[in-house]
Structure 1
Amino acid sequence: MFTPRLLRRPAQRTVLLLATMLALAGLSTSIQAQSSSSYPAKPVRLIIPFPPGGPADVLGRAIAQRLSQKWAQPVVVDNKGGANTLIAAQEAARAAPDGYTLFMPLDSTYTMNPALYSRLPYDPIKDFASISIVARQSLVLTATDRTTFKTVTDLVTAARADPGGINYGSSTTSTQLAGELFTRQTGTKLVQVPYRGASEVVKGMHSGDVQVSFDGIAANVPHIRTGKIRALATTGPTRSAALPDVPTLAEAGLKGYELVMWNALSAPAGTPKAIIDKINKDVIEIVQRKDVKDQLLIFGLETAGTSPEEMNETIQRETAKYAPLIKELGLKLD
């Protein structure tokens, strides 16, 4: 009888341990379910890393307004512009992980800033929980009516004949990288002229300081319509719904060329998965509405709506794509 007793005690302990683990798992699931079903029980803050009025702000407010209606709780937009989105990202990273602070980063917040800064006040992976990529936008390669460029081929031919003789305007790291990818793939040399914003790039185009530009679609559409600026190509994998008659750079002969900017929704790391899943489901439903699509298309934004997993994969893929190029070019924003 002695041996069976020795065998029985460990077995009893194992059973007790398993029972405890199952009970804790059940309790955790129950708590998450309760937090999800009652969420939100108070106002939610949405941090946008840009000042009011721009495409990112319009996107954030469009989503916030409809989430407020859906949740019967205010979703309050908090504009925290400046420092290439660092100020807003740092504040969002430090917020309580309870679902009551959300953050709308730009792609570069997670994929480019780590290579642009020696020290970041946040960790793109450890400090945030992905919710969804909510909108994407292609950039547009344009030329002024002062030039003879009507196609990408025209530009490439002229640039090869006069290396360094053509200036291109850009206003962000993303638009500068678009130009660098273009020159590398075409074997040309264009001179980059940096500007503070898209409207300043347009002014540079009109004044003749730059002949071409890589920039956002929204700021250029009015001038494309008047003919003062010509749209040569867009940078996405497919044509932009905002400029459906304009070919992509891939269609224009640059096979594999792709650069797309995106806006997403995140929460502080540690936010319960049940809450993340609820927000994801509700946001995807909102961005698929026709009125939302139409409202945002004016700004060149095309609504998306991905899973958290798809967003994480995009961050990893694009970080691997852009970080070596940023390092090679010696770009730093410290």
Structure 2
Amino acid sequence: MSMIRLLRRAALLAPFLALATSAVVAQDQSASDFPSKPVRLVIPFPPGGPADVLGRAIAQRLSDKWAQPVVVDNKGGANTLIAAQEVARAAPDGYTLFMPLDSTYTLNPALYSRLPYDPVKDFASISIVARQSLVLTATDRTPFRTVADVVAAAKANPGGINYGSSTTSTQLSGELFMRQTGTRLVHVPYRGASEVLKGMLSGDVQVSFDGIASNIPHFQSGKIRALATTGPLRSPALPDVPTLAEAGLKGYEVVMWNALSAPAGTPRRVIDKINRDVVEVLRRKDVKEQLMAFGLETVGTSPEEMDATIQRETTRYAPLIKELGLKLN
């Protein structure tokens, strides 16, 4: 090929090379300058609950760290579907973040025949930010003081004990409990943790599988008893309460987690910056102590670790949900 032809080809390619170079530079600048405007953090629950407390604790520290407001936007309802669908459609620039519950990605695909989002294709993982064990509780209206008491009463009177729950994870906890103990309890669904508490205090349900935080005032008053937690280890928020595994249900484990995600397509450099800053926030002593009061244990994983957790738990729970016949329309 002659020198003249080489020069002509180089001249033709120059604009495309310049465009590609400018795109790379722009991406680098967008990551290094991020954020240059307010960031929206979408939480799929109403204000006041543990997920909201967690989101606001992180948002406040990131606002200080970034010198930009991180605005919490509560979008509760439909088992987190409303918020997830909105975030999935948002611009992939890092300025819309999402704090899903584990069930958003791991349980909903098996529960809904028509899911308005794809948990893998529509989101970019950033980090699992906190975990929490659930707790099996009983009211002071019952004689139940141990797990063994509940199991004995349930076997003596199948279907005679009502249990309350407000999320798929808490219902699944009850289903696993019945399967492992060979008992039959009557499931009573509620719209939220506060409604479960009302049912417990009114006597409509005798036991429940619920989050720790909303029950703590009633544990202290004695109105509700904590019988066992669902995690592999005792919760630091309830160190004197045994796990269900310790109480005789070998291998029993249900742990809920909250995470941080962005719309799919968000630049990896932006994802990495958010991850570094969030993990640093989660390691702070004041943040750990603030969230522990709500039964939340801070975590802080890499995006890859979060992806692996989603895949592992989806594989674990999807067949069980199908076997139990759990379905939501």
Give the TM-score, by structure 2 length.
0.91
Task: Confirm whether residue 317 of structure 1 aligns to residue 312 of structure 2.
Answer: yes
Report the count of equivalent residues.
Answer: 316
Give the CA RMSD over aligned residues.
2.0
Aligned to 1:92: 87
Task: Confirm whether residue 136 of structure 1 aligns to residue 166 of structure 2.
Answer: no
Give the CA deviation at 1:328: 2.1
Determine which of 163, 171, 191 is the counterpart of 1:196.
Answer: 191
Task: Confirm whether residue 127 of structure 1 aligns to residue 122 of structure 2.
Answer: yes
Q: Distance in 2 between matches of 1:55 and 1:48?
A: 11
Aligned to 1:175: 170
* Contact kept? 1:117, 1:333, Cα under 8 Å: yes
* AA of the residue aligned to 1:207: S
Q: Distance in 1 between matches of 2:235 and 2:216?
A: 12
Name the stretch that deviates more: 141-150 or 102-111: 141-150
Aligned to 1:116: 111
Aligned to 2:224: 229
Give the CA deviation at 1:232: 0.6
Aligned to 1:277: 272
Q: Distance in 1 between matches of 2:91 and 2:155?
A: 54
* Contact kept? 2:101, 2:258, Cα under 8 Å: yes
* Contact kept? 1:32, 1:273, Cα under 8 Å: no
How does 1:282-301 map onto structure 2 within 5 Å? 282-301=277-296
User: Could you list the runs of 5+ residues in structure 2 that have no partner in the other structure?
Assistant: 2-16
Secondary structure in structure 2 of the residue aligned to 1:209: coil
Summarize deviations over 1:31-77 as a string: whole Å, max 9, x none.
Answer: 54332211111111111111222111111111111111101111111
Identical-pair percentage: 82
Q: Distance in 2 between matches of 1:91 and 1:198?
A: 24
Q: Distance in 2 between matches of 1:274 and 1:85?
A: 27
How does 1:212-223 map onto structure 2 within 5 Å? 212-223=207-218
Aligned to 2:8: none
* Contact kept? 1:97, 1:271, Cα under 8 Å: yes
* AA of the residue aligned to 1:166: I
Give the CA deviation at 1:28: 6.8
Secondary structure in structure 2 of the residue aligned to 1:316: helix
Give the TM-score, by structure 1 length.
0.90
Secondary structure in structure 2 of the residue aligned to 1:243: coil
Aligned to 1:15: none
Determine which of 263, 267, 271 is the counterpart of 2:258.
Answer: 263
* AA of the residue aligned to 2:92: P
Secondary structure in structure 2 of the residue aligned to 1:150: coil
Cα 1:249–1:28 shift into 2, 3 Å:
farther
Aligned to 1:53: 48
* AA of the residue aligned to 2:111: L
Q: Distance in 2 between matches of 1:197 and 1:40?
A: 34
* Contact kept? 2:158, 2:184, Cα under 8 Å: yes
Give the CA deviation at 1:298: 2.0
Give the CA deviation at 1:108: 0.8
* AA of the residue aligned to 1:152: V
User: Could you list the runs of 5+ residues in structure 1 that have no partner in the other structure?
Assistant: 6-21
Q: Distance in 1 between matches of 2:132 and 2:276?
A: 22
Cα 1:157–1:278 shift into 2, 3 Å:
same
Aligned to 1:185: 180
* AA of the residue aligned to 1:105: P
How does 1:10-49 map onto structure 2 within 5 Å? 30-49=25-44
* Contact kept? 1:250, 1:257, Cα under 8 Å: yes
Name the stretch that deviates more: 263-272 or 319-328: 319-328
